[in-house]
Amino acid sequence: MAAASQDLPADLPVIRVRDLSRHVGERVVLRGWLWNQRGKGRLWFLLLRDGSGIVQCVVKRDAVGDDCFEAARSLTQESSFSVWGEVRADERARGGHELVVEGLTVHQRAEGYPITPKEHGVGFLLDHRHLWIRSRRQAALLRVRHRVAMAMREWLDAQGFVCVDAPIFTPNACEGTSTLFEVDYFGRPAYLSQSGQLYEEAAAMALGRVYSFGPTFRAEKSKTRRHLTEFWMLEPEIAFADLDEVCATAEGMVRHVLREVVDRCEADLADLERDPDDVLAWDRPWPRLRYHDVARQLVAWQEEERYQSEFTPGDDLGAPDETVLGEEYGCPVFVTHWPAEVKAFYMKRDPEDPSLALALDVIAPVAGEIVGGSVREEDEAELRRRIREHDLPEESFEWYLDLRRFGSVPHGGFGIGLERTVSWITGVEHVRECIPFPRTIQRLTP
Ligand code: 4AD
Ligand code: MG
């Protein structure tokens, strides 16, 4: 191959596919991998992908000569190469541009790339996740994921939030002891963080409005399309906030995310066959429902045989219940004022009905719960009682109780799962495709 490769012309700008529109009529260099190719006779089309897009490169034997033409033809799927020539605007071409090739250099010829255009089973694809992420849909998903995370942070930044990172090795549980990953921390037990919340509460008392964003871990035995054992969560925490303010923050932030994804990920949504209007349809005020009203409604729908579920009032919502809510409202809904028994120890009780927690979940169509949050119990004695009731080791929460001893104030916050949010927005139903390298109960590789 080397014989057919030509030296890169040093005088040409090296650009990326996404920037082609700014170089129409100019000669440029593109670098990337072969996504696909076709052609016949004296005309060959190379589809080059460079991570920012895919462009058709037109190779004419008469223009480039036999050696270069043969080099182009001999490229295999995922071979890496650089190519140069003139950028031409062309309505019919993918992305509206093509490159009229003058020469190319092969970096490496790939032999037997395992993921071919034919259908593969998802197990096979997940085993080859390190390569699968090169495919069009998967790369689009990763770009949308990036945009979702950026947009969340931008919105919070504009509202004066400060990102405060929470530790991953933690001495105690935040979200119940049944899903803790224990690790040996120099001879004593430590747990991988289930949530940064307790630390964000400390940070909120220092900085007012804060959030953490990082990986969180749950030893979930669930094999559903919504559960990962390692997922990314963004957790805002707000001093002096009540339930309304926590809800407004979640809604404001996520609606900003929807607009940003539609504005900036047009091509990615197209690759994912997602209609932007469907996404924008959720950019309207979200209904705020109380748990007991929802429970009544669900029971009525079961009786009418609208759907089937084992739900009875007092239970947490299951997948069928979340699904039917999504169908009914067609947009995310808040479910607030939950029975305290199904919620975490730190949640404040409703002063008007202490059997209820001032908790909120956001249930999104198809994806289910994307946000969970609450107002936090701010009274030391009450919180201590809860810690005991939940059989949590009191001594490892002394630092947390300090927050209620030194200038305790009403406060609240929420956590939003990045993968569930991406899954919801893109319509890709399984969260394992919404994280670069998924970790589930059955999967630790690649
Ligand atoms: O409802 P969760 O458990 O809430 C908390 O962890 C709170 N401490 C957050 C807070 O108030 N700061 O989790 C929050 C969100 C869920 O709504 C969901 O989006 C996501 O985290 N999540 C998961 N995502 C993927 N796989 C799992 N196993 C998940 N568990 C929760
Ligand atoms: Mg939850």
- Confidence band for 2, pLDDT divided at 50, 70 and 90: very low
Give residue 114's pLDDT band: very low, low, confident or very high (50, 70, 90).
very high
Q: 117: CA distance to ligand 1 center in Å? A: 36
Of 207-211, 219-223, 246-250, 341-345, minimum mean pLDDT range: 219-223
* pLDDT tier at 92, thresholds 50, 70, 90: confident
- Is the predicted pLDDT of residue 219 greater than 60, yes or no? yes
Domains of the chain (ranges, CATH numbers)? 17-108 (2.40.50.140), 127-434 (3.30.930.10)
Higher pLDDT, 2 or 445: 445
Q: What are 351-382's pLDDT values in tens digits? A: 999 999 999 999 999 999 999 999 999 999 99
Residue-level pLDDT at 8: 84
Ligand 1 atom at minimum distance from 179 CA? 28
Expressed in angstroms and rounded, the spacing between residue 429 Cα and the centre of ligand 2 is: 18
pLDDT-based confidence at residue 5 (cuts at 50, 70, 90): low
Residues having CB closer than 6 A to ligand 1 are 174-175, 195, 197, 218, 220, 227-228, 231, 233, 235, 369-373, 413-417, 419-420, 431
**Least reliable range by pLDDT among 217-221, 291-295, 350-354, 361-365:** 217-221
For residue 373, which atom of ligand 1 is closest to its CA?
A: 11
Distance CA 104, CA 96 (A): 22
Pocket test for ligand 1, best of 420, 428, 432, 433 (most atoms within 8 A of CB): 420
Which contacts qualify for 59-66: CB closer than 8 Å, 24 or more apart?
A: 59/101, 59/104, 60/100, 60/101, 63/100, 63/101, 63/102, 64/101, 64/102, 64/103
Mean pLDDT of the region 62-90: 97
Of 306 and 118, the structure prediction assigns the larger pLDDT to 306
Q: How far apart are CA 394 and CA 405, in angstroms?
A: 15
User: Measured from the CA of 412, which atom of ligand 1 is nearest?
Assistant: 11
Query: What pLDDT score does 270 carry?
Result: 96
Q: Name, in order, each residue with C-beta under 8 angstroms of 83's C-beta and a sequence gap of 6 or more.
A: 29, 30, 31, 46, 48, 57, 99, 101, 103, 104, 105
What's the whole-model pTM score?
Answer: 0.96
Mean pLDDT of the region 33-43: 95
Q: Would you say 218 and 179 are in contact if contact means Cβ atoms under 8 Å apart?
A: yes
Least confident interval from 96-105, 173-182, 290-299, 351-360: 173-182
Q: Does residue 324 contact residue 294 with C-beta atoms inside 8 Å? A: no
How many whole angstroms from 360 Cα to the centroid of ligand 2?
A: 9
User: Which residue's CA is minimally distant from atom 21 of ligand 1?
Assistant: 417
Mean pLDDT value across the chain: 95
Q: Residue 95 C-alpha to ligand 2 middle, in angstroms?
A: 41
pLDDT value at 398 more than 50: yes
